[in-house]
Chain A
Amino acid sequence: MAAFVQLVILGLLAGGVYVAVGVGFGLVWGVLNIVNLAHGALVIVGGYITWQLFTAFGLDPFLTLPVDAVALFVLGYALQRGVINRIIRAPLLFTFLLTFGLNLVIVNILLLIFGSDFRSVTPTYSGQGFEIGGIVVPYVRLTSLGAAILLSAGLAFLLSRTRIGLAIHAIAADRDAAQLVGIDLRHAYAVTYGLGAACAGVAGGLIAMIQAITPTAGEPYTLQAFVVVILGGLGRVSATVVGGLAFGLVEAFGQSIPGSGSVFANAIAFGLMVLVLVTRPQGLMGRLR
């Protein structure tokens, strides 16, 4: 029983990272209809910023998260405004290709700057945690989960309570109608992508604490983001939170299958995703639109 509870806790804690990675990806996909293959690369940019600030100035990694968010927002805004906006009316697959190209550029620029060494942020409290009745809860993972939930809540608040949030909702519902009512589409698109990138940056900061990063370390996260977003259901922040936590649980229980269970981690996750898509395309949580 304790083992089971521990597994659930581990799964939920691991899910925090997936939530953080997923919300940005889901926002860009749901609102802009862009499948952002550069998302994982943006995540790792955030990771390197946190690592750099921690290494150079000894800044606590959690305090660097706002820096990640702001830096990535600027980068994301510029990318959308300068590049991606130019193919918004092209067929769907072009965004795949464009973001694939951007991914290649970002990953290799990181490789030029930081080299291929494995980097990790290890604050003094890294790996420590508390224990209740034999159940271990590591601080960093707990705080990461908290940060991911806060991030999602902040994003949800922004989307529902602010002017720009309403504009984003409007373009998600009907782009051309939104333009007719006077929304500056180029700006609104760029802000949306910037927000997605900001979330990616925060996720990267968390990931730099939990694992070692290299310039190519973001690629698995792009794949996982697909699953997370589909599991929860596209178009709502809260659904992505559920999707991320569900993904963490699926992973943990997949790993706990005796013998060779977790070698099928991707097969199980993607199999589940296909199943959800085919039987419940609106996701576990339903869809806003």
Chain B
Amino acid sequence: MRRWALLAAVAIAAIACGGSTTGGPTTGSTIVLGAPLGLTGSLTKESILTQQGYNLWQDWINARGGIVVNNVKHPVTIKYYDDTSNANQSAVLMQKLITEDKANFLLGPYGSAATATDAAIAEQNEIPMVEANGAAQSIFNQGYKYTFGVLSPANKYLQGVIDMAATLSPKPTTIAMLSADDNFSLEVAEGVNTYAATKGLNVVLYKKYKNGATNLSAEVQAAKAANADIVLNSGHLQEAIAINKAAKEQKVNAKIFAYSVGPSTPDFITALGKDADYVYGGSQWTPQVKYTPAFYLSVAEYVAAYKAKYPGLGDPDYHVAESTAACLALQRAIEKAGSLDPKKVRDALAALDVTVFFGQVKFDSRGINIYKPMVVEQIQNGAHHTVFPDSVADAKPQYPTPAWDQR
């Protein structure tokens, strides 16, 4: 298995390097990147997806010999530590990466709480941190200069679903919005609450629940009583599964079920089986998007590289892709800066505007990427399909969602 992954990496490297070897750059010092991740504890699943995304890029860049700065190739190592899914430990490890491991630059942890804590560490040490897994805008409203997020901010997560709903016929009109009470999810929900009216949709129910809840029967019952056309959830994988199970049990027959986080992960389908069909998800990225990358792999090559390195896991989900994109943003900024100086790379990050397989990566003055659109995917016959916007879609939305007893 390892050998195939290596072969694939070499093959990709050969393609990537083809013709660009003129001048024969010399090899320079190793660039050290670092990230604390929840390799044990409650955020293990998502943290491992993040790590996969980082590792994919690391293999690729090292197969090319490293990041080229002023005609010198710098190989890359990424150091990981386990923060046991604890934000305070994440801060300790960030400081270790900076001080002890002499990390040149930082990659983000998983989750908005750890990202917020680590952003303050990066700021105090004046080392750029490019993160891909903390979408809460509150992190970016602090005037920090060294934290950059390549992903679309939380408030956009479900706006694509609303845009899509406005194009469907018969047009759905009412929304029941359920949200976990963590900062990311609430920003997603607020995004819906303010945006829906502009598209002629009416939020008839807005309910918050405890983050991590596994029994959401009464919430779902409230959504049923509200008789909404669209049931939206902003939460995490666990809550998305709980809501979908409860919706079936209570025969809630909405026209659209759409969840912020969850549907994009393979676990959602394996855990729910056929009941996962017809569910929509707001997604940062899907394997079907059509962007023309300025460098690195195309979308199809990326999916192939993922499957070669991590066989048996299916397509990469957006957590993986956005994590790779964070590495790409950092790589391009280092190249543009022509230096490993943290301040120069920071300035290059702030001025970055590049399109990669993940989409456009460009930061606003706060450091978050508001320029890349979110896409909408739907699970159809046990497979992920991109259904909105039309320019990247590979399937039409199956609408309306059939009643539970007619499936």
Contacts and interface: CB of A to CB of B under 8 A. Distances in A.
A17 B40 CA distance: 26
Interface string A199-225: 000000001001110111101100000
Q: Is the interface of B mostly helix, strand, loop or mixed?
A: helix
Contact of B249 (A108, A136, A214): A136
B9 interface: no
A111 B44 CA distance: 9
Interface string A242-272: 0000000001111110111111011000000
B238 interface: yes
A256 B218 contact: yes
Of A220, A263, A266, most buried by chain B (CB within 10 Å of CB) is A263
B269 to A, nearest CB: 11
Given A122-B272, A211-B241, A266-B210, A7 B181 contact: no
A6 interface: yes
Interface in A133-185: 136, 138, 140-141
Interface residues of B, number: 41
B209 A136 contact: no
B251 interface: yes
Contacts of A126: 245, 248, 273, 275
Contact of A122 (B209, B238, B275): B275
A47 B218 CA distance: 24
Interface in A90-120: 108, 111, 116-120
A10 interface: yes
Nearest to A14: B215
Contact of A262 (B45, B218, B265): B218
Contacts of B225: 3
B392 to A, nearest CB: 27
A262 B45 CA distance: 26
Interface string B29-51: 00000000000111011001000
A239 B404 CA distance: 38
Contacts of A10: 217-218, 221
B129 to A, nearest CB: 24
A127 interface: yes
Interface in B83-103: none
A131 B405 CA distance: 12
B249 to A, nearest CB: 4
A116 B250 CA distance: 29
Contacts of B218: 7, 10-11, 251-256, 262
A66 interface: no
Contacts of A111: 40, 44
The interface size bin for chain A is: 35 or more
Contacts of B42: 214, 216, 219
A82 interface: no
Nearest to B181: A263
B249 A117 contact: no
B217 A127 contact: no
B212 interface: yes
A138 B181 contact: no
Contacts of B219: 255, 262
B251 A136 contact: yes
Contacts of B249: 127, 129, 136, 138, 140-141
Interface string B176-200: 0000010000000000000000000
Interface string B57-76: 00000000000000000000
Given A14-B217, A259-B208, A122 B273 contact: yes
Interface of B: 40-42, 44-45, 48, 181, 206-210, 212-219, 221-222, 225, 237-238, 241-242, 245, 248-251, 265, 267-268, 270-273, 275, 404
Closest 3 CB pairs of A and B: A255-B218, A127-B248, A116-B44
